[in-house]
Structure formats: C-alpha cells, structure tokens
Chain A
Amino acid sequence: MIEKERQQLLDELLEKQKQGRLKPSDRFAIPCQQMPQQDAMERKNNVEEVTTGYSETQARLEAMRCLGCKTAPCVNGCPVRINIKDFITAIADGEFAKALGIIKENSLLPAVCGRVCPQEVQCQEKCTVGLKFKDVNKAVSIGRLERFAADWGDKQNEKDVPKIAAKTKIKVAVIGSGPGSIVAAADTARAGHDVTMFEAFHKTGGVMVYGIPEFRLPKKIVQKEIDVLEKMGVKIVRNFIVGKTRTIEQLMSEDGFDAVYIGVGAGLPKFMGIEGESLVGVYSANEYLTRANLMKAYKFGNGSDTPIIRSKKIAVVGGGNVAMDCSRMALRLGAEKVYLLYRRTEKEMPARVEEVHHAKEEGVEFHTLQSPQKIIGDENSCVKAVECIKYELGEPDESGRRRPVAIENSEFTIDLDAVIIAIGNGANPLIGQTTPNLKFNKWGNIIVDENCKTSIDGVWAGGDIVLGSATVILAMGQGRGAAAAINKYFAEKLSERSGDN
C-alpha cells in the first residue's frame, strides 16, 4: 500500500465515522500496517535503527483497527496498566499530544518500551482483534503506536520537564542508571526530594546503552531521558561503584542519604561449563555487546580504541533477545556466517517475535534442537570448531516448556572462529559482598516486599537484581513502585513531624 492509498482509505474511514456509520467489520477490513524498515541486506552493514517508524497516516489507520473494547483486555496484559484504549483512540483522532499524555500517566519511557517490550506476550496477546483473527501478529500494533506517539513527541522539541513539588530536603540515592533507576529517580525527584544517581560505568542508561544495540534502540533516545532527569535537578555521578567507592552503609550514615534505591541489574554471565570455554574467541554476550555498544568497537580504528575480533564464522548459543542481538551485531561486524544454536525449538524461544523475524531476514542461520558440547581450539588456543549434539523435546518441565533431551550418538562439529554464549546472567555480586544486612535469595537476588522494600530500613530495590533477568517494563514498574513507597514513607514522616510542632 502506498501512502496515497493509505490517505484515501483513512479519509473514507473518517468520513464514515463522522456519519456514525463506521462498523467493526470496517475496522477488521483495515490492513495491518507494516512497520517501515531498512532493507535487510543493507541494514546488516550498518548500525542505524532497523525500523523507521509509522507515518502519521499509518499510525492513524492502525489505530482505527482498535475496536475500543469496553473491557479493554489489552490493559490487563500491560505490566504498568497503560490506558491503551484511550491513547489509541486519541491517535486515531489525530490528537497525538493527548495520546502521549495518556501513555505518560503510566510509563515514563514510551520511546524505549514501544521499541523493546515483548508486546506479543503482553498487551497484544490479549487484544480482541488478534483473537478474532486467531493470530497475535494481527492484533492492533500497540507497541508501534506507542513508539509513534513517543517519537512524535520528541519531534515537537518541547520535551517538557515534569513539575517538581516543593523541596523536602530528603536525600535519595539511586544506584545504577537502568530503566528502573531512571523511573525511581524521576518519581522521587518529582516529589521534591534531593536525588543523586550513582552509576558504575562512565555512561548512563544501564543495559539500554551497553546491552541492547544501537540498531534496535538508538542511544540518543536513552540520553534524552537522562537529560530530562538532569533538568529535573537529579545529580548524576558516573564512575561511582556503590560497595567499592562508598558502601550503602556509608551513604546512609556518613553522607546523609535518607533513602536508597538499588537497581544494579544482572551480573556475572553464565557459562555452560563445557570444555574449551576459556579459549580465545569465546565471549559472554555481555562482553561482546559491551565492547560493541558501550565502547563502540564497531568503529575500532575509526575513533574507537576498543578491539573486537572480527570473526567470519560465529556461533551464538541461546534463544533470547540477547542471543538475537549478538547474532545481528556479529553480522554488522562483518561475519559471513552466524549460526544460532538453541536447545529447544523456535516456539520455545524467549526472544521477541520481531527480533527472531529480523534476525532471519538478515541471514542468521537458526539451528534449533542443537547445543554445543565442547569447544575445540587450535594450537594457539583460538576457537576452531564446536562439537554439538542434537536434542529432541521430551516431557514438559515445571515451567510447562518441553524439556530438551540429548539424542545419543548425534554429535557433529561446525568449523568456526568465535562462540558467543548468551544463556543468561547470575546476580550482581558487588552489593551483596559489601552490604552485610541485606537479605538475598539462593540465586543472589535481593529479597523485597510488595513495595520493593528490602530487609534494611530505608533501602528499596528493583529491576533485574530483584527479578533475575526481566524486562525493561518490569524494571520500570518496580522503579515506580519503589518510588511511590519512598515518597509515601517520607510524606508520612514529614506530616508526623509537622504534627509534632
């Protein structure tokens, strides 16, 4: 469909609507609006964003596919309960500012979430339109509409700084600068508290800058959010490792912080424990992506000082978003062949459907029901090949996913020059090592109550350090919950104090 046809269709639909003749069947007849994107063969040679976003007409057409269900089941699928029906109606009406305002009531980072949320298992899974077509891919594209509204807002160049309540003199320390921390900082600053954000790296944004690649989430989007925080008066301290530079105990007893939010994210990468994992050319996903994203190793020799091996044949082990990002980054770093090795089938892959789709389009070869058993090195201890074994699916395990079972004598080898292990992370060990009274579960995640409060008074926590590996939106949700609890706690304290007077 070309833009002119879309415009025509939109005009017709609007006319019908005005006359009160627009029926659900008309809405069902609107074609799903495809996301404009860079051509696959072209984009695998650059790090520019893959998808370029809806035009206004496309957005309004897509929004008109929404039935405006009374019960709005989509909202129940959204972890932060965005008022989806209303914002989509506003887009259909061409009231983009209003749409953005509605989203922002619940989500602080729509430009990010619109791009990276797994909508197909959240809001879109529940959407009536998708159910009617028995295909979640035909649901209203809520995520793309969210992104449209956010990007539209950015273009208006009036990134408004939220109103700040009267200063309270309460000092809040926010540790880490990932999505949970950004929201916790914003919400506590809005309540008038004096907020300082501490980040270990020399750049802020957490996984959104060092993990998720530029081609999926442009770094300038994250930077804008950080800029807003600074405009709100949040102080941002980089290169500050809580637990090492200062401990939480010191921040609270010596430096005068009244409350702390811990959002340090996931930590030590998991390895498979197979032979050859220490060979040169075996990377954890974190190392590979950090080199590529944070230090911009893709520009090595053209500005960047951080090297990365430019391998020709790479295997990536895993089936999540992280594995997809590594595979696609490897292509962009010049790999000729990228094999994705996953123990189960595509159906069980935890990655977003869109990422799987994009990875395939770009030429990543999916090898499912296979997993490496051994990595083989050459005389210089560089990776030369992997030995894999084939799997079949057996009985479902506790999580309901069918358990992969190795098939005997099915070993085979693939020649390679690098292997990236993307099978998840353990918990970040630093805070635990240096905060004796903080309680952790057996996996090393911080234990919190329903308000994200930890075992220490005045200390809250959220995001991956609490949930294990989660998502941007869940981390944000916890940041928001923790901030609300912090604000409530001090509001009560302050009113008690004024009551005393």
Chain B
Amino acid sequence: MAESGFERNFIFGRVKKMSHKIIHKEQLSENVFAIDVSAELIASAAKPGQFIILAINSEYSERIPLTIAASNAEKGTIRLIWQRLGKTTTELADLKVGETIENIAGPLGKPTHLENFGLVVCVGGGIGCAPLLPIATALKKQGNKIISILGARNKELLILESEFAAISDELIVTTDDGSLGRKALVTEPLKEICQRKQKPDKVFVIGPAVMMKFCCEVTKQFDVPTDVSLNTIMIDGTGMCGGCRVEIGGETKFVCVDGPEFDGHKVNFDLMLKRLNAYKNHEQKALEQYKEHKCKIGLDKKTERKK
C-alpha cells in the first residue's frame, strides 16, 4: 500500500487539497480513451468488477459511472477507459495529462465473484471490453481456462486485443463489417462454443445492453450460467436514489449496491434498454451546447491521436 502517498497525507495527515491528477493518457480508437489517474485510496481498495463515479468539477457537473479497468496500488493510480458519447465523456476526453478531475468516489459495487469455474467464456462488446479485462485477468489467475470473444463494429473500434490475447487460451475477434477477424456478431461464435463437446462452465458478458440480451438468450438455450454487468444510469452510486433500479427475476434491484453484475438469465433487458434511453434528447442537447462552446473558444481542434 502507498503509505506515504499524497492522498493519505491529505486524509490522515496535513495536505490541504485533494484532487485527482491525470498521469497518463492514451487514445485507443477514434472514440475510446484511456487514462491513468491518481486515486490512491481507491487503487488500494479496488477489486475486479468495481467502478467509480466521477464529476469533473463540483458545482454543475453530471456524475457518471466508469469501471475501474485496472488499478495499481503501488503507484496509487486507477485506469479508466471510456467511449466518447455525450457531454461528460467528451469533456473528459478533452482533459490533458497533468490536469485534474475534481471528484472521484469509489470503489463502488460488489466485486466480481471469482472462483475456479473451469472453462469460462468472456464476451466483450465495444467499450465493454474495458471492464471485462480485469475480470478475465482475475479469472485466469484463479486457474480458469479462458476463451475470449471480442466484438466491435469495425477494426478501428476494437480495443485491447493484445491484452486479451495475453490472458486467453483462445481468442476470437468479430467485426460487423469483417474488417478484422470474423464477420459476425459475437453471438455466433458464442453459440458454437456452447455446442462444443466441452461445454463452457460459465460465461461473462459485458457490452451494450442489446448485445448482452442476445448473448443471454444463446446461453440460456444451453443452460450455461451467465453473468452480465449492467450499465444503467446512476446518480449517487450508494443506494440512495433508486435511479439505477433494474428488474431481476421480477424483483427490483439496485445496480450500484446489489450489482453491477447479475445473473443474465434473470435480467429484464427490454425494460432496462428503455430506461437507458430516457434522457436521450436532453443528453444530445448538452453535447451540442458543449461543442458550440468549445467552438467559440477555439477548443474544437481535434485532439491529437497518441500512440
């Protein structure tokens, strides 16, 4: 543990102001970014499957959840990987190394239940590959045999391929347009694997809600237990607001305290999909205003793509 770190000194000692500095930044694909950001206490407490909630500044910022893609307790940093979608993720993508995020709270959610299941299939769709990686890595460490299926719309959008290659016994890549790997949706290879002589013992799926829904339909046919990680809208992340509620086996559950991982065969995905779209029009408006604002102050120049 980083005993002498800055954050500890703030909390348990005498440093005046706490903030989270961006130590390293990468662009993984056109719209996917990764940063290592200092968050010492979270780094030393984080377990696979957990997430944080951040607000870039304090007065008016939206609070958004992001998965802890990796954590380094020695350096006191956590890694966040996100897709540029709306206002907050766009603003986040515009931050540079050395700049700070004012508020990061976590680690939130229950950690992934890890054990030696035997043969595990890890299915990641798009940005979902980021939260999947720490889980797959930990499962490998537990002695599981790992088959990874990574899917994206095209070659440019596929991320973390080499990282998954390093920990997988078998790696299958699919793209919608066939620009890399197989031209298919992830459900195709998943079905084939379920039909193999050695049926998987467990499946983890993280990706867009629609993709998780269809993967679960496949594994249900073969009776393979499947965990999914749900990305509902969240506000507090501590079980206070109820905004993250989902229906699991007919019961109301709260993703932030009961999840984010659930038995995929019990999730009411249709309802969840609708709830995710609740603010679509509003979010579009916020993004447009932010872009307009950047344009006015000359910040709309494309961020340089880093290697």
Contact = CB atoms under 8 A, between A and B. Distances in A.
A305 B271 contact: no
By Cβ-Cβ distance, the 10 closest A-B pairs, closest first, are: A307-B282, A284-B242, A381-B274, A305-B62, A239-B105, A287-B241, A202-B103, A269-B242, A280-B278, A304-B60
A280 B275 contact: yes
A385 B225 CA distance: 38
A241 B238 contact: yes
B106 A241 contact: yes
Nearest to A201: B236
B235 A305 contact: no
Given A246-B45, A287-B235, A429-B239, A307 B105 contact: no
Interface stretch (A94-102, A288-296, A484-492): A288-296
A384 to B, nearest CB: 13
A280 B273 CA distance: 10
10 contacts: A203-B58, A239-B103, A240-B11, A244-B107, A271-B245, A277-B252, A286-B240, A286-B242, A287-B241, A429-B257
A305 B87 contact: yes
A201 B289 CA distance: 26
A237 interface: yes
A431 to B, nearest CB: 10
A246 B41 contact: yes
A-side interface mostly: loop
B278 A300 contact: no
Nearest to B55: A202
B11 A196 contact: yes
B84 to A, nearest CB: 15
A373 to B, nearest CB: 17
Interface string B90-134: 000000000000111111100000000000000000000000000
B61 A305 contact: yes
A286 B274 contact: no
B105 A241 contact: yes
User: Interface size for chain A: under 10, 10 to 19, 20 to 34, or 35 or more residues?
Assistant: 35 or more
Contacts of B279: 307, 309
B285 interface: yes
A354 B257 CA distance: 36
Nearest to B286: A305
Interface in B12-30: 12, 18
Interface in B182-210: none
Contact of A271 (B10, B108, B242): B242
A200 B285 CA distance: 29
Nearest to B283: A307
B-side interface mostly: mixed
Nearest to B61: A305
Nearest to B280: A307
Contacts of A286: 240-242
Contacts of A433: 257
Contacts of A269: 240-242
Contacts of B241: 269, 284, 286-287, 290
Interface in B242-288: 242-243, 245-247, 252, 254, 257, 268, 271, 274-275, 277-279, 282-283, 285-286
A262 to B, nearest CB: 14
A304 B242 CA distance: 21
Contact of A268 (B12, B61, B106, B240): B240
Interface in A420-453: 425, 428-430, 433
B41 to A, nearest CB: 5
B239 A267 contact: yes
Interface string A245-273: 11000000001100000000111110100
A267 B240 contact: yes
A281 B18 CA distance: 37
A238 B63 CA distance: 14
A106 interface: no
Contacts of B240: 265-269, 286, 290, 425, 428
A287 to B, nearest CB: 4
Contacts of B275: 278, 280, 381
A268 B235 contact: no
A306 interface: yes
Nearest to B276: A280
Given A267-B239, A290-B240, 11 more contacts: A196-B12, A267-B238, A269-B240, A278-B252, A280-B278, A295-B60, A295-B235, A299-B60, A307-B279, A307-B283, A428-B239
A425 to B, nearest CB: 8
Given A245-B42, A287-B235, A381 B252 contact: no
A303 interface: yes
B59 interface: yes
A400 interface: no
B175 interface: no
Given A245-B42, A301-B285, A304-B60, A200 B11 contact: no
B60 A305 contact: yes
B168 interface: no
A156 interface: no
Given A239-B105, A290-B236, A268 B254 contact: yes
A301 B87 CA distance: 11
B238 A430 contact: yes
Interface string B40-51: 011001000000
